[in-house]
Amino acid sequence: MIKARRRLWIIASGAVVLALAATLAGVALRDTMVFFYSPSMVSENPPQPGQRVRVGGLVVHGSVDRPGEGGANFTVTDGRGDIRIEYAGSLPDLFREGQGIVAEGLFGEMGVFTADRVLAKHDETYMPPEVAEALRQSGLSMDDEGYGGDRIEASGNLYRGPAVPPAAEDPVG
């Protein structure tokens, strides 16, 4: 009798904790989930300004602009659309022109995306899955991208001389 009652409260308290955790998770998931938009999705059906989203694509060659007061602005593309991204932080070391990146942040009124996080990969041959998928859908595959050969551009910035982005033609646009 006592044993049965004890079992009951163990099960009951377990159920309560689990139900609580599940509710918590459900609510949090709904509130914090961030949707991914490819540039062409943005041009077709843009998210609300102020809504937190992720965007991604290939960084357009020559689009990176590093203002003297810090931060960096650049354009990503999936071949069918472009997004101009403004970022106040320090770009990840693996950020390269022509490479796939994902940025998280908000669209402003003018269609400019303000990112507070930019993800580039540790592995240079890596393509973020979202970006890979978006590129596949837009018909622009990785093979069209020149990966080698932008060594100077990458290294040019290390040296203290001013680094002017090279006038390489943009294979995407």
Partner 1 sequence: MIVFAVVIALIGMVGALYIASPLAKGATGPFMRLAAFGIAALIALGALGAYLVGGSPGLEGRPYTEVERRLAEAEPETLTLPEQEERLRSIARRNPDDAQAQAMLGRFLSRTDRHLEGVAMMERSLRIEADPRVMSDLGQSLVALNEGQVTPEAERAFLAAASADPDLPEPAFFLGAAAYDAGDRETAAERWAGIVGRLEPGDPFGQAIASRAADLLSRPQGGPVSEDDAAPFADADPDDTDAMVDGMIGGLEARLQDDPDDLSGWMTLARVRAMTGEPDAARSALTQARSRFGADAGAEAIITALETALGTNEDSET
Partner 2 sequence: MIAEAGRFLVALAFIASLAQMVLAWRGADHGGLEGWTRAGRAAAEAAVASAGLAFLLLIIAFVQSDFTIAYVAGHSHVDKPLVYKIAGAWGGHEGSMLLWCLLLAVFGLGLARVGPREPAMRSRAVSFQGLLQTLFFGFLAFASNPFDRLDPAPVQGNDLNPILQDPALVMHPPLLYVGYVGLSAAFAIAAAGLMQRSGGREVAAALRPWALGAWTSLTAGIALGAWWAYYELGWGGWWFWDPVENASFMPWLLGAALIHSAIATEKRGAFPGWTVFLALLAYVLSILGAFLVRSGVITSVHAFALDPERGVWILGMLGVSAVAGFALFATRAGSLGEGDGFAPTSREAFIGANNLLLAAAAGVVLLGTLYPLFVELLGMPMVSVGPPYFDATATPLMMAALALLPLAPFLPWANGGAKPALRQMRAALALVPVAAAGAALLWFGAPVMAVIAGALGAWVLAGAAMDAVSGIPAAKARGAKLAAAGRALAHAGVGFIALGAAADASRPPDINAAMAPGETIEIAGHRVTLREIARADGPNYLADRARVSVSGRGDLFPERRFYWGADQHTREVGLGSGIEGDVYLSIGEARPRADGSTAYEVRAAFHPLIWALGLGASLVVLGGLLALIGRLRAPVLEPRRKAGAVAPGKGAAPEPAEAGA
Binding positions for partner 1, rule: CB under 8 A: 149, 151-152, 155-156, 158-164, 166-167
Find the shortest distance in angstroms from Cβ 157 to partner 1: 9
The answer to whether the Cα torsion of 17, 19, 25, 28 is positive or negative is negative
Q: Please name the residue that has the structure tokens 């990966």.
A: 147
Residue in 53, 59, 37 with CA at minimum distance from that of residue 106? 53
**Separation between Cα atoms, residue 115 and residue 34, nearest integer Å:** 13
Beta bridge partners of 54: 36, 104
C-beta of residue 122 within 8 angstroms of C-beta of residue 74:
no
| Binding residues with partner 2: total (CB under 8 A) | 62
Find the DSSP H helices in 45-85. Answer: none
Q: Return the number of the residue (8 or 173) whose C-beta is nearest partner 2.
A: 8
> Site residues for partner 2, window 73-102 (CB under 8 A)?
88-91, 93-94, 102
Q: Return the number of the residue (109 or 151) whose C-beta is nearest partner 2.
A: 151
List 49, 51, 108, 124, residue binding partner 2 (CB under 8 A): 124
**Separation between Cα atoms, residue 170 and residue 7, nearest integer Å:** 69
Q: Please name the residue that has the structure tokens 């602009």.
A: 65
Write the DSSP symbol of residue 48.
Answer: P
Find the shortest distance in angstroms from Cβ 170 to partner 2: 21
Radius of gyration of the chain (CA): 22
List 39, 79, 105, 128, residue binding partner 2 (CB under 8 A): 128
> Site residues for partner 2, window 2-21 (CB under 8 A)?
2-3, 6-7, 9-10, 13-14, 17-18, 20-21
Note the residues at the interface with partner 2 (CB under 8 A). 2-3, 6-7, 9-10, 13-14, 17-18, 20-21, 24-25, 27-29, 31-36, 54, 66-71, 88-91, 93-94, 102, 104, 119, 121-130, 132-133, 151, 154-155, 157-164
